[in-house]
């Protein structure tokens, strides 16, 4: 039996476009004499469709697309993910389903059992869990079809009372197929592989696993579809971050050998590729071609500029440096050199006149007060005004350049450096930003070494350094990781006995994170590369009184 893995990049809500992609892949599979072609979870509508699922017209259009696909399955079978009406008097209106079409008929519909409702997932908000388990018989093989989370309920990590494959295994299947919508995070690639390999070993069955690829707003899908033999070895694996199509000539009596490439949990190359794909897809799917960013001569804007240039073409990324009286000449020169290295258009627009005008306007109101962070923020907001004006005039989307460390502690200015249509590195801690800069320079200088080696500074007052307000970034990032990703309170972090983590510093940082939730609530979408990103994956109350 020839089974094709069809790893595609879908656009949420573009049912006609997604249907056309699926039909093109089916035509290709027919030419390759494929018996079954497998697509990913909710392929017909894109994943995750969120509240689009609440509109009956949306489901009806999905049905039309699925029916078009059914009519093109003469001589082939296709497994396609899509929503289906539950028809229940009590319960949710929809199932998250896999449609097994063969010879222009719906041979079977398989509904998802385990509905993740944690982190970025909220499937139980929309879908009814499946309660019946039946394999699919096709061309002499009995196939256990599952959908994404249905294969994750194993061993000590069980979250659900029912394990779908345990139910299906009692029916003596010869092979497993899983339609997935599994997002990327830097600690998820190997975990996903190991969970799928464990399924194959546990049930002594080969597994065909198909994931989607592409960026859908903040969520990034890396692909990595694979065929795993019954011993748990990955025999074939699709490309990461690219559409791919693989045909596996599978014989249930043959043992296939491991032939995949190893990656590590924290692979800066995968993070780089994820961000490039995320920027490229975000712009393409919302209809933008050009970007603009504030290029300060610092590490954050430099990395964002380099990522955007690779994703969109350097000529489509406008860099504007906006010096004030506190900006060093070195920073301006470094920003210009970066633009020259990349080949991006560059402008130098000083903010002195804008800043002075704002100060003059506020003179009467501020009489009798001393300059403080207010005046620093006016500089950041002056820059935000310029960037947004450029965006309005020429149609370039503003890229936000804040990193996760800054966002966590509020070291950013609302309506100033927080402005933008997309946050590119908002899920990378400062030390990760440096790692990424070094990766960008892996073949030679792209980001000027002066930018990488200089001490970080917002340059909003004389001789300002980030270390004036924050602990050194290696220490700050460690505290933030323990608090945000590992969900440890300040007492637990201090009790870890890591000698550089002073109690007063830890308590201060935790308070800063909590106090600045209102800022993050107003931030632009952030490309997600960790398992606990700000936004949909970390939902904290803006108004709360709780001491961690």
Q: What is the pLDDT of residues 347-361, one digit of tens each?
A: 999 999 999 999 999
Question: Minimum mean pLDDT among 375-384, 396-405, 460-469: which range?
Answer: 460-469
Tell me: the pLDDT tens digits for 62-116? 999 999 999 999 999 999 999 999 999 999 999 999 999 999 999 999 999 999 9
Q: In 10 A of CB 87, how many CB atoms?
A: 9
Please determine, for residue 187, whether its predicted confidence score (pLDDT) is greater than 90: no
Q: pLDDT at position 457, please?
A: 72
Q: pLDDT at position 262, please?
A: 58
Q: pLDDT at position 257, please?
A: 53
Give how far Cα 204 sits from Cα of 138, 207, 534, Å: 20, 10, 39
Crossing angle of helices 299-312 and 329-342, in 10° steps, is: 20
Task: Read off φ and ψ for residue 436, nearest 5 degrees.
Answer: -70, -40
Q: pLDDT at position 422, please?
A: 97
Average model confidence (pLDDT) across the chain: 93
Question: Minimum mean pLDDT among 33-42, 67-76, 261-270, 326-335: which range?
Answer: 261-270
CATH H-level, domain 270-466+517-521: superfamily: HUPs (3.40.50.620)
Q: What are the residue ranges spanned by the domains of the chain?
A: 2-253, 270-466+517-521, 471-515
Of 8 and 500, the one with more pLDDT: 8
Please determine, for residue 344, whether its predicted confidence score (pLDDT) is greater than 60: yes
Q: pLDDT at position 64, please?
A: 98
Please determine, for residue 527, whether its predicted confidence score (pLDDT) is greater than 90: yes
Closest among 218, 217, 198, 220 to 209, alpha carbons compared: 198
Closest among 174, 27, 47, 171 to 98, alpha carbons compared: 47
3-class SS string, 419-486: CCCEECCCCCCHHHHHHHHHHHCCCCCCCCHHHHHCCCCCCCCCCCCHHHCCCCHHHHHHHHHHHHHC
Tell me: the pLDDT tens digits for 215-231? 999 999 999 999 999 99
Tell me: the pLDDT tens digits for 307-333? 999 999 999 999 999 999 888 888 899
Strands 207-210 and 226-228, by their bridges, are antiparallel
Q: pLDDT at position 227, please?
A: 96
The residues near 284 (Cβ < 8 Å, ≥ 6 apart) are: none
Q: Residue 62 and residue 83: Cα distance in Å, rounded? A: 7
Q: pLDDT at position 458, please?
A: 65
Q: Residue 421 and residue 423: Cα distance in Å, rounded? A: 7
DSSP state of 51: G
CATH fold group of domain 2-253: Nitrilase/N-carbamoyl-D-aminoacid amidohydrolase (3.60.110)
For range 399-404, the mean pLDDT: 96
Q: In 10 A of CB 254, how many CB atoms?
A: 9
Please determine, for residue 282, whether its predicted confidence score (pLDDT) is greater than 70: yes
Q: Residue 466 and residue 403: Cα distance in Å, rounded? A: 13
Question: Residue 509: which pLDDT band, with cuts at 50, 70 and 90?
Answer: very high
Strands 226-228 and 234-237, by their bridges, are antiparallel
Question: Residue 235: which pLDDT band, with cuts at 50, 70 and 90?
Answer: very high
Tell me: the pLDDT tens digits for 446-458? 999 999 998 877 6
- Bridge partners (DSSP) listed for residue 223: 240
Could you tell me the end-to-end alpha-carbon distance of the chain, in angstroms, rounded to an integer?
A: 56
Q: Residue 67 and residue 314: Cα distance in Å, rounded? A: 43
Question: Residue 468: which pLDDT band, with cuts at 50, 70 and 90?
Answer: confident
pTM reported for the whole predicted model? 0.93
Counting beta carbons within 10 angstroms of the beta carbon of residue 157, is it exposed (0 to 12), middle (13 to 18) or buried (19 or more)?
exposed
Residues tagged active-site: 41, 112, 148
Question: Residue 499: which pLDDT band, with cuts at 50, 70 and 90?
Answer: low
The angle formed by the CA atoms of residues 302, 290 and 271, to the nearest 5 degrees, is: 45
Q: pLDDT at position 329, please?
A: 82
Question: Residue 254: which pLDDT band, with cuts at 50, 70 and 90?
Answer: low
Q: pLDDT at position 250, please?
A: 86
Please determine, for residue 199, whether its predicted confidence score (pLDDT) is greater than 70: yes
Q: Are 273 and 527 in contact (CB under 8 A)?
A: no
For range 110-135, the mean pLDDT: 96
Q: pLDDT at position 353, please?
A: 94
Q: pLDDT at position 260, please?
A: 56
């Amino acid at each position: 039996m020839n089974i094709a893995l069809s790893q595609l990049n879908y656009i949420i809500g573009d049912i006609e476009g997604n249907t056309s992609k699926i039909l093109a892949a089916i035509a290709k599979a027919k030419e390759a004499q494929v018996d079954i072609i497998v697509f990913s979870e909710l392929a017909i509508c894109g994943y995750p469709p969120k509240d689009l699922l609440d509109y009956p017209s949306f489901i009806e259009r999905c049905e039309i697309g699925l029916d078009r696909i059914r009519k093109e399955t003469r001589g082939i079978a296709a497994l396609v993910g899509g929503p289906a009406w539950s028809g229940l008097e009590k319960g949710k209106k929809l199932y998250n389903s896999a449609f097994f079409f063969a010879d222009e008929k719906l041979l079977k519909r398989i509904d998802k059992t385990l509905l993740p409702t944690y982190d970025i997932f909220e499937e139980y908000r929309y879908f009814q869990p499946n309660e019946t388990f039946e394999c699919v018989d096709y061309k002499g093989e009995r196939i256990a079809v599952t959908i994404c989370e249905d294969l994750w309920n194993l061993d000590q990590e069980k979250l659900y009372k029912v394990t779908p494959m345990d139910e299906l295994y009692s029916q003596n299947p010869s092979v497993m197929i899983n339609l997935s919508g599994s997002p990327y995070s830097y600690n998820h690639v190997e975990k996903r592989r190991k969970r799928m390999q464990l399924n194959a070993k546990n049930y002594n069955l080969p597994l065909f696993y198909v994931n989607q690829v592409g960026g859908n707003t903040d969520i990034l899908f890396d692909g990595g579809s694979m065929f795993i033999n019954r011993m748990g070895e990955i025999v074939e694996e699709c490309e990461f971050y690219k559409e791919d199509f693989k045909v596996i000539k599978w014989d249930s009596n043959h043992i296939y050998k491991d032939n995949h490439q190893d990656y590590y949990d924290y692979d800066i190359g995968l993070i780089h590729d994820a961000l490039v794909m995320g920027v490229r897809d975000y712009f393409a799917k919302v209809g933008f071609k050009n970007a603009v960013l504030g290029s300060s001569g610092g590490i954050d804007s430099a990395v964002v500029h380099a990522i955007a240039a690779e994703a969109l073409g350097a000529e489509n990324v406008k860099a504007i440096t906006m010096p004030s009286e506190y900006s060093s000449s070195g920073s301006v020169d470094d920003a210009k050199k970066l633009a020259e290295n990349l080949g991006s258009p560059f402008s130098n627009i000083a903010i002195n006149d804008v800043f002075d005008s704002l100060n003059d306007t506020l003179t009467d109101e501020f009489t009798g007060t001393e300059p403080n962070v207010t005046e620093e923020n006016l500089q950041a907001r002056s820059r935000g005004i310029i960037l947004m004006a450029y965006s309005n005039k020429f149609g370039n989307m503003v890229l936000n350049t804040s990193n996760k460390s800054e966002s966590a502690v509020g070291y950013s200015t609302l309506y100033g450096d927080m402005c933008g249509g997309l946050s590119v590195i908002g899920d990378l801690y400062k030390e990760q930003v440096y790692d990424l800069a070094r990766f960008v320079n892996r073949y030679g200088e792209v980001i000027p070494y002066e930018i990488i080696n200089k001490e970080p500074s917002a340059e909003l007052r004389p001789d300002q350094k980030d270390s004036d307000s924050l602990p050194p970034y290696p220490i700050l990032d460690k505290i933030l990781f323990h608090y945000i990703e590992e969900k440890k309170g300040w007492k637990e972090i201090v009790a870890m006995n890591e000698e550089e983590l002073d109690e007063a510093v830890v308590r201060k940082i935790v308070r800063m994170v909590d106090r600045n939730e209102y800022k993050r609530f107003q931030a632009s979408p952030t490309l997600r590369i960790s398992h606990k990103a700000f936004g949909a994956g970390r939902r904290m109350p803006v108004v709360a009184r709780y001491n961690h």
